[in-house]
Structure 1
Amino acid sequence: MKIVVVGGGSTYTPELIDGIARLQADVPISEIVLVDPAQDRSELLTAVSQRILSRYGSSTKVRHSTDVSEAADGAAAVLMQLRIGGQAARERDETWPLECGCIGQETTGAGGFAKALRTVPVVLDIAEKVRAVNPDAWIVDFTNPVGIVTRALLQAEHKAIGLCNVAIGLQRRFAGLLGVEPERVSLDHVGLNHLTWERAVRVLPEAGSPFGVGEDVLPVLLSDHLDEVAEHLDLPAELLKLLGTVPSYYLNYFYRHDRLVDEQLGGVPRAKEVAALEDELLAMYADPALDRKPEILAKRGGAFYSEAALGLVASLVTDRGDVQVVNTVNGDTLPFLPSDMVIEVPATITSGGAAPVALDPIAPDMAGLISHVAGYERLALEAALHGSRDRVVRALLAHPLVGQWETANTLADRLIGENKDYLPWAT
């Protein structure tokens, strides 16, 4: 099986390569093509990736290309991990919204909206090139904001599915706290990308297990490990007790917006930290003796992305019919949302795509926030596809982290000014 990684020059690519090498018995991959316009970084990442694979005894071959059409020919899957504008654009996304009293973040709020405007047209252009040479290839989107980008792909009728590492990260953490294998833990994970809650944590039994058949052990987690879970999420333990669920740590930006704005105003943007880390990683990758994933790569974020991505690709290609948490079309899964909305829920994965599993009714507070953000995401996609300042203002007015006329207008002008080089309609 051949896979393509668009954005393969990322310093994060060795995480994916390490996973491919470790899981080669379960997901045999013969060729990996790293596609990136930065040829020098592609060459560097290709070399270190091949060394990592060789260390594991893998026969998988890695090469790089600047031509996505050539790379996608014959591929089973194309993984998207793009960052249009690089860390410099991310740093702007994390800073200028703060001047208006709004959160500075790369996937939500005004900063996340800016990223969507830069990213959607590029992803759609790449997807069209893939479809022209290989309409059977699956496009797996890991590019943020995943919900908006995936909906853009599905609306254009691409063979696409979105992926985030939040669910698998929580699954692994819960398994560790419970002392069980991760494969035995399943999550009742519901919401939109980066706006999700774990409403139940079920553990499949084994001989001698203290857990019943698919028993929900979330009450046990919130009773015995409340402080550990709360600290991991940087959320108050009292909030988790009140909700009786485990929110994604991205809910911090909604539940504690003003506090986080104050903290960000006095702190160092995450983009600066990541940029410094990337410089260190690139220097390490240039060492011809390096043949393993550096430990400091864990600081880069995206834990367990490789396991999630490979598990998804394997199920799509081999028709496994297992359940994984993905971003896919709503249908009637969440009846309070439009059917074409992209949601993040457990779904059965086959060669035909993702079919969301049936879910219990959503609590009113969750449903209300999901609906609010879904309205923003629909308007944000319209702005990304068609441009105009008016569409930008409307989307910002619809976002629960903005929502005020004067603020939305000020943010719109700053957003367009900061990103005019990426927005043809803004010139």
Structure 2
Amino acid sequence: MSEGIKIVTIGGGSSYTPELVEGFIKRYDKLPVRELWLVDIKEGQHKLEIVGNLAKRMVDKAGVPMKIYTTLNRREALVNADFVTTQLRVGLLEARIKDERIPLSYGMFGQETNGAGGLFKGLRTIPVLLDICKDMDELCKDAWLINFTNPVGMVMEAINRYSSRKKVIGLCNVPIDTHKAIARILEKPVEEVFATFGGLNHMVYVTGVSVDGNNVMDKVIEKWGRQSVKNIKGIEWEPGFLKELGVIPCSYHRYYYMAKEYLEEAIENYKQHGTRAEKVKKIEEELFEIYKDENLAEKPKQLEQRGGAYYSDAACNLISSIYNDTRDIQVVNTVNRGALTVLEYDEIAEISCMITKDGPIPISVGKLPKAVNGLIQQIKSFEVAGSEAAVTGDYNKALLAMMINPLVGSQSYAIKVLDELLKAHEKYLPRFFAHDTIHRA
């Protein structure tokens, strides 16, 4: 890497890319990115051009010798890359809208990473990520793959089980948001608050909090209450429940512990105002209009409204830590290696890790409270079944994944939603239509 680092971002036309570019610019002294390749598909070419031009203006303004390339040729971009980041959406936002609207039309959760919608995002995404892994094995075998394409847990489980690629890490912004919220409660700078995490992607728990070596977990649990992320409504947690639980849940746990309230709200929004996906589509359209401004040469403030803020900053942090062997602590998705006893040794966990030049080393959490183990194991079985369905294109394996997800809860509706989503996404699910296992009602 003596001539500088080459980074490839697949899904480079994403609205998040300016944050990624900003992250590389501000870290340039310790992370000398000489080439940043932004890769997208033909359907995303227009957005790629807009984002690519903004990235070039940002680099020019900063005066750093970082060359920006845009291309629709993934294999061309991957040659001799040092790091590859993936932030793609198979089927674009139109697919997400279907993932949300179709389940909701049956009175079932429709959400991007949970339940039926999360399953179908995984079914579309996993074959593409496995193809990217194959290309990397051929064209940049020593590169690190940093994935923050959702559903991160299921995607990582599939890569771990069905790919030979070992240098891969999954990343999510939820632990970062949670850590910041804890720091606000304690009225301390986030760097002074040490928090340990263990669980799964979008099902991670805070297992310990300390300041200056003093355990302040009880204080945080007492005040946790209305903590959420931008795209998830805040309903207050009952302090007595959290005290008995013994760990701090993340914002996405509300889909499970407050399922009735959340489903009622989601169905009402679906009927009255449209889904979250439709709101995101509107925000994205507004962002790209802003990105077109030839006088704009920095990440606009409006990007924070998109949800998922700090994703890209987390990616830059992680890449910098690997490159510089900083051995700091970050929360990532990686092979468990016995750190969480509730999971198998070789299953994927979202867990606090020491980040080294050789990758993440999980920090042992040991036993989680018995009260959370069942839910974690249920969602892990969902991730495993969903990844197997994605690889095989087997209808019954997809139905199994649907049925074991706690947000589905109905065999007859599961079949109806599965059939309708398969039909809606047929273009992106060729493996399911390569044989005659599709259920016919």
Between the aligned partners of 1:395 and 1:260, the Cα distance in structure 2 is: 22
Between the aligned partners of 1:230 and 1:9, the Cα distance in structure 2 is: 28
Matched, 1:4 2:13: no
Counterpart for residue 157 of structure 1: 164
Counterpart for residue 217 of structure 2: 218
Between the aligned partners of 2:224 and 2:85, the Cα distance in structure 1 is: 36
Alignment of 1:165-244 (within 5 A): 165-203=173-211, 205=212, 213=213, 215-223=214-222, 225-229=223-227, 234-238=234-238, 239-244=241-246
Counterpart for residue 349 of structure 2: 343
Cα deviation for residue 135 of structure 1 reads: 0.1
Alignment of 1:27-176 (within 5 A): 27-37=31-41, 38-155=44-161, 156-158=163-165, 159-176=167-184
Counterpart for residue 314 of structure 2: 308
Between the aligned partners of 2:243 and 2:339, the Cα distance in structure 1 is: 27
Alignment of 1:254-293 (within 5 A): 254-267=256-269, 268-293=274-299
**Identical-residue share of aligned pairs (%):** 37
- Structure 2 residue identity aligned to 1:125: D
- Structure 2 residue identity aligned to 1:255: Y
In the alignment, is the contact (CA less than 8 A) between 1:11 and 1:278 conserved in 2?
Answer: yes
Higher mean alpha-carbon deviation, 317-326 vs 282-291, is at 317-326
Between the aligned partners of 2:391 and 2:228, the Cα distance in structure 1 is: 38
Alpha carbons of structure 1 residues 186 and 26: separation in structure 2 relative to 1, 3 Å: farther
Secondary structure at the residue paired with 1:4?
A: strand
Cα deviation for residue 336 of structure 1 reads: 3.1
Between the aligned partners of 2:73 and 2:314, the Cα distance in structure 1 is: 26
Alpha carbons of structure 1 residues 293 and 125: separation in structure 2 relative to 1, 3 Å: same
- Alpha carbon RMSD of aligned pairs, Å? 1.9
- Structure 2 residue identity aligned to 1:252: R
Matched, 1:354 2:342: no
Counterpart for residue 210 of structure 1: none
Between the aligned partners of 2:384 and 2:220, the Cα distance in structure 1 is: 35
Between the aligned partners of 1:176 and 1:27, the Cα distance in structure 2 is: 29
Contiguous gaps of at least 5 residues in structure 1: 206-212
Alpha carbons of structure 1 residues 13 and 108: separation in structure 2 relative to 1, 3 Å: same
**TM-score, L = length of structure 2:** 0.90
Runs of 4+ in 1 over 4 A off after TM superposition: 230-233
1:352-383: CA deviations, max 9, x gaps? 22221111411011111001111111111110
Cα deviation for residue 216 of structure 1 reads: 2.4
- Structure 1 residue identity aligned to 2:170: G
Between the aligned partners of 2:327 and 2:276, the Cα distance in structure 1 is: 38
In the alignment, is the contact (CA less than 8 A) between 2:342 and 2:368 conserved in 1?
Answer: no
Cα deviation for residue 31 of structure 1 reads: 1.6
In the alignment, is the contact (CA less than 8 A) between 1:76 and 1:317 conserved in 2?
Answer: no
Contiguous gaps of at least 5 residues in structure 2: 434-441
1:316-365: CA deviations, max 9, x gaps? 22322222110011222223322221110011222222221111411011
Cα deviation for residue 392 of structure 1 reads: 1.1
Secondary structure at the residue paired with 2:58?
A: helix
In the alignment, is the contact (CA less than 8 A) between 1:164 and 1:193 conserved in 2?
Answer: yes
Secondary structure at the residue paired with 1:274?
A: helix
Between the aligned partners of 2:153 and 2:125, the Cα distance in structure 1 is: 12
Between the aligned partners of 1:81 and 1:347, the Cα distance in structure 2 is: 22
Secondary structure at the residue paired with 1:229?
A: coil
Counterpart for residue 438 of structure 2: none
Secondary structure at the residue paired with 1:74?
A: coil
Between the aligned partners of 2:39 and 2:141, the Cα distance in structure 1 is: 18
Between the aligned partners of 2:178 and 2:342, the Cα distance in structure 1 is: 26
1:374-421: CA deviations, max 9, x gaps? 111111111000012111111111111124322322222122122111
Between the aligned partners of 1:257 and 1:270, the Cα distance in structure 2 is: 17
**TM-score, L = length of structure 1:** 0.93
Between the aligned partners of 2:390 and 2:403, the Cα distance in structure 1 is: 16
Count of aligned pairs = 417
